[in-house]
Amino acid sequence: MTSALKSVLIISCMALFGGALLAGCDSKPKASSISKPSVQKYEQAKTLQGLVTNDAGPVKTGIIKALSEQGQELARMALTNGPHYSLEIPAGTALPIVLAYCPAADAPDDQCMISAVVHAGASKFDINPLSTRIAKQAKALGGYTHKNLVSAAENTGTVPASNKTTAGFRGDPTTQYGGWH
């Protein structure tokens, strides 16, 4: 190889290498555009309803409260002679909210049961020991979000691990939802 050819190859390689370095130096990591999920609100007043049960069965007396995530009381009603409740939530209320059942107005928190509300479209929320475990675990996972509630529900269920196809479906998975999707 002649010295002229060696010089051309060296210069070409240096140009390629230098161009690659410049391209690498010029490309800055782009800031990811992480958008916060939009806050859901009730555009109109919304009636939430459900059934309150404990380990002994339907609860007949007590207090039901709707609370903001910060603990501000939004609505309240007394259960009398039955486990069914119905609460009117004011328009403009931001989600998530917590529905709390307490056996008495002055009952300590450990005697109360809760259910978390994260979707404006839903209106039926039962309050029971299972909803309480799910809501508390979701809060521990980082807050009342759809993702945390689903994760908490999957981890709180009593379905054996070997039978957890699609969150506990029991049966032929090829027939679930009309077949595979």
Report the interhelical angle of 146-156 vs 129-140 (nearest 10°). Answer: 120
Distance CA 47, CA 117 (A): 12
Question: What would the pLDDT profile of 80-134 be if each residue is shown by its tens digit?
Answer: 989 999 999 999 999 999 999 999 989 998 899 999 999 999 999 999 999 999 9
Q: What is the pLDDT of residues 59-92, one digit of tens each?
A: 999 999 999 999 999 999 999 989 999 999 999 9
> Residue 56, SS3?
coil
Q: Please indicate, yes or no, whether the overall pTM of this predicted structure exceeds 0.85.
A: no
